[in-house]
Amino acid sequence: MVNQQAVGSWAFLIGIIIAILAGAGVTALAPAIAGWVPLALVVLGLIVGFVNIGDKEIQSFLIAGIALIAVGIPRTALLTIPYVGDLLVSILGSIAVFAAPAVLVVSLKAFYTLSKTPTIGK
């Protein structure tokens, strides 16, 4: 039997590594796989969202995920950093591609949980 927690942990670790390598430009060395990298990041992000996050971790995960994605928003400011600005923007963009599907899945889980438990009259 496959341990779901182990699968989710490996998906997270592999996703982060791929995102950093892709952001660092490693895919430029292998243009044939460059188009598949975002798809791999999305699939790994979905796996993390479905498998890794239980009901107790939803709030913390969503806060961390939103913060992680938001870090890449000020592109212009990051681009002004000499030598590493482009690299930071690229890595953060790849990490956002990985994190966004996980955040989407977990937020839908939270939305579903909240919608099935009425709080009116409590």
Domain boundaries, the chain: 4-116
- 8 A C-beta contact, residue 24 and residue 87: yes
Residue 25 backbone phi and psi in degrees, to 5: 95, 10
Tell me the CA distances in angstroms from 14 to 10, 58, 103, 104, one per residue in order. Answer: 6, 21, 17, 19
Question: How confident is residue 117, by pLDDT bands cut at 50, 70 and 90?
Answer: low
Percentage of the chain lying above the pLDDT 70 cut: 91
Question: 85-116 and 58-71 helices cross at what angle (nearest 10)?
Answer: 150
Say if pTM beats, i.e. exceeds, 0.75. yes
SS3 content of the chain, % helix, strand, coil (to 5): 80, 0, 20
Mean pLDDT value of segment 13-28: 86
For the chain, give the longest Cα–Cα distance: 61
pLDDT at 113 over 90: no
